[in-house]
Amino acid sequence: MALDGKTHPLNSLGFPKSPAETRVVVAMSGGVDSSVVAAQLAEQGYDVIGVTLQLYDHGAALAKKGACCAGRDIHDARRVAEEMGFPHYVLDYENIFQDAVIDEFADSYLAGATPVPCIRCNERVKFKDLLQTAKDLDADCMATGHYIQRKMGANGPELHSATDANRDQSYFLFSTKPDQLEYLRFPLGHLASKAETRALAAKYGLSVADKPDSQDICFVPNGNYASVIEKLRPGAAEPGDIVDTEGKVLAQHNGVLHYTIGQRRGLGIGGLADPLYVVRLDVDKRQVIVGPKSLLATRTIAVREINWLGDEPFNSREEWHVGVRVRSTRPPRDAVIRPISATEAEIELVVAEEGVSPGQACVFYDNDSSRIFGGGWIWRGK
């Protein structure tokens, strides 16, 4: 029942009241996507509050382009709020971000893993602390500019891939919990292309309409992981040996942190008939192990910290036949999940994947629809 005593049909965000009576906190990164979400909801008459997170010292970030949440982006988000006439706040989350995302990124990278900090940021910062802030502001929901869909199913809200497969961000949002999904909204997930988003930005006259998309991890300038790790963990670039699978020394390296599973270039090993690839990293021995491309193929993956979004309990079946994605840039591949516990499983890929690395996410997809069943973290493959 609305304040005027009349019963309203559900508004576009799913609430039985008018937009004016519906408060929405919009997580604004300063980019075109979240700016369009905020502008669109404001135009539709919702009670919009924009919030931007300062995640790290943006004094250094001001000189860096191609990443989100830098000082320039905070300015852009504030300007959009001024243009559309809704309040905007900047929250200092530096300490939270350092503890919840950056430190683990550095430690897991040094342990030979390939971390995906954007997932941890969504899981531990945006959809946890920021979401709680939205509730503290008495908001009915929180909206973001992510390209993913929230659909109502028989058992409540479900997570679905975006309509535009090229923009789909489901790989980075698999760890969204059911109670978070109740509160979140993703207004862009149904759009057919990014061009539609930019057209909306132009329609609203937003200053960020032509702003380039962010490409890098926000605290990793130019994708140079190694330089960031060296600053975070001085002394991490210890030299060592590049060896083959039998332990024969082939060359030297200047730090395991400079290498990733599947890497071929920059090994400094010439004169071989067949190219060699990084197949394993041994941090304790400071060794980079190389071998033929065939050794990169993996069919069995161990996954833990599973977040399950299916209707039945995860370990209620012996097997789940799904599609899985082990890299954000690869399409889902047919697989069989065999639960070990409510949060652990062994996954058998029907066709072997190359370059599966500990620290990456493994995301589960329904083979017969766009629904996402959650996922987990890869901790070993064979």
Same domain assignment for residues 115 and 43: yes
Same domain assignment for residues 368 and 325: yes
- Judge whether 68 counts as a catalytic residue: no
**194 pLDDT above the threshold of 70:** yes
pLDDT in tens, 338-365: 999 999 999 999 999 988 888 899 999 9
- pLDDT: is 213 or 142 the higher one? 142
Same domain assignment for residues 79 and 96: yes
Residue where one domain finishes, among candidates 272, 291, 310: 291
Residues constituting the chain: 382
pLDDT in tens, 123-151: 999 999 999 999 999 999 999 999 999 99
DSSP secondary structure letters along 189-201: TT-S-HHHHHHHH
Same domain assignment for residues 118 and 260: no
Domain that holds residue 314: 297-381
pLDDT in tens, 3-35: 555 677 999 999 999 999 999 999 999 999 999
Same domain assignment for residues 242 and 344: no
Same domain assignment for residues 192 and 302: no
Which tokens is 177 given?
Answer: 């919990």
Residue 297's beta-bridge partner residues? Answer: 354
25's CB contacts (< 8 A; 6+ apart) are 49, 50, 51, 130, 133, 134, 137, 139, 141, 142, 143
Question: Has residue 4 been placed in a domain?
Answer: no
- pLDDT: is 11 or 106 the higher one? 11
Q: Residues of the chain with pLDDT > 70: what percent?
A: 94
In the chain, the number of structural domains is: 3
Same domain assignment for residues 166 and 246: no
Q: 68, 118, 141, 218: which one is catalytic?
A: 218
**246 pLDDT above the threshold of 60:** yes
8 A C-beta contact, residue 373 and residue 337: no
pLDDT in tens, 39-81: 999 999 999 999 999 987 644 443 444 444 457 889 999 999 9
Question: Has residue 36 been placed in a domain?
Answer: yes
Q: 69, 118, 121, 141: which one is catalytic?
A: 121
pLDDT of res. 61: 40
- Number of Cβ atoms within 10 Å of the Cβ of 136: 9
How far apart (Å, rounded) are the C-alpha atoms in residues 187 and 114?
31
pLDDT of res. 4: 55
Same domain assignment for residues 145 and 205: yes
Residue with tokens 């024969």: 248
pTM of structure: 0.89
Residue where one domain finishes, among candidates 251, 276, 291: 291
Question: Has residue 317 been placed in a domain?
Answer: yes
Closest CA to 13 of 50, 44, 52, 59: 44
pLDDT of res. 176: 97
Query: CATH no. for residue 317?
Result: 2.40.30.10
Same domain assignment for residues 84 and 205: yes
pLDDT in tens, 317-338: 999 999 999 989 889 999 999 9
Residue where one domain finishes, among candidates 258, 273, 291: 291
**153 pLDDT above the threshold of 70:** yes
How far apart (Å, rounded) are the C-alpha atoms in residues 67 and 220?
8
